Amino acid sequence: MTGDRHRDAVPASRKIRLVLDLRRKGVTDTRVLAAIERIPREKFVPDTFRDRAYEDTTLPIGHHQTISMPSVVARMSEALQVGERMKVLEVGTGSGYQAAVLATLCRRLYTIERHPPLAERAQGLLDALKITNVTTRIGDGMLGWPQQAPFDRIMVTAAADGRIPQNLVDQLGDGGLLVAPLEDAEGHQRLVRLRRDGHVLRREDLGPVRFVPLLPGVAGR
């Protein structure tokens, strides 16, 4: 029993250090920081990388995909300004870690993944953690989820080439926010935030990032 407690204390101490590091890096939203502290990131990384789960680094999760740096997860979650009554769309489930963080902040999360094995694993992890307000779908994230639109918030966790897909913009509700990485012709990526005000879209640049590309279709089909 003592050994079990000791093993559990190691990720807990690392998690505390990570949250303090995120504060130093400028993340101030207390709900986001609490979500990062609550969600066990070690569950979402491959076993071979579990000892690095609380480093602020990107890690591979298979299928040429990665789990984002905790600071990027926190930064994007903070930028999205999610309220507890909101309906949120995530494009790119990946490991499921960002989905787990968002799920603690919103009423309902819909998340789309183009790699079936990743979607299935993520749903299994969310179920195991008893996170019940997430619906996962295997599909083309560039098409969004029109049956559930409009969304109060949309997050894209892969870099669109040049512009955000119009399908996603169209599914953003009035007053809604969309946060996504965009890649320019030179291969540089910037995180942008769109705010819908009626028919007007206001765009903000939130700084440099690095994500895998946003691709159409379902992988392997």
Q: Would you please indicate which residues are annotated as catalytic (active-site) residues?
A: 68
Do the Cβ atoms of 22 and 71 come closer than 8 Å?
A: yes
Phi, psi of 34 (to 5 degrees): -65, -35
> Among 194, 211, 212, which Cα is nearest to 203's?
194
Q: How far apart are CA 203 and CA 178, in angstroms?
A: 9
Q: How far apart are CA 213 and CA 66, in angstroms?
A: 11
Do the Cβ atoms of 178 and 156 come closer than 8 Å?
A: yes
CB atoms within 10 A of CB 42: 17
